[in-house]
Amino acid sequence: MKTQSHRVQLDIDGQESPPEAVHPLFQRDPFPGGHDYVVRVCGENAAAFLLKNSSITHCGSYNNLDRNTCVEVFQCLDWLVLAPMQREIKRHRYFLNSIHRLNVTSDEVSIEGVCSRVAE
């Protein structure tokens, strides 16, 4: 899916899913958890926005981010791509709970972690 100058791809448990069906909700110990996700945001503005608006200060690979950094990254993801896509969504399918790995290059931000299915 393309939004502004970004291309967003979301995989949950290895299956492509619509990015607008998720919402960041940090939990140190994801509950109920049980699902792995990968979000890729391609476009040079994505990395620049993250670097400007979080404690991540340079491109690189980061593992097992602390709570504050996770919240900052989730806020950037929400502000940059998710919120504009979700204006018409009535119900989310998953909450993105944690970030185990963050990779930032000049033209892509990749976030991996655990998510929880929203109760029906």
Cα–Cα distance measured from residue 88 to residue 48, given in angstroms and rounded to the nearest whole number:
27
pLDDT of 75 reads 93
DSSP secondary structure, 60-96, as one string: EEEES--HHHHHHHHHHHIIIIIHHHTTT-S--SEEE
**Taking a C-beta distance cutoff of 8 angstroms, is the pair 99, 65 a contact?**
yes
Report how many domains make up the chain: 1
**Taking a C-beta distance cutoff of 8 angstroms, is the pair 110, 102 a contact?**
yes
**Taking a C-beta distance cutoff of 8 angstroms, is the pair 88, 100 a contact?**
no
pLDDT along the chain (120 residues), means of 10: 70 93 91 96 87 94 95 91 64 92 96 93
Query: What residue numbers bound the domain in which 95 lies?
Result: 2-117
Single pTM value for the model: 0.88
pLDDT of 2 reads 43
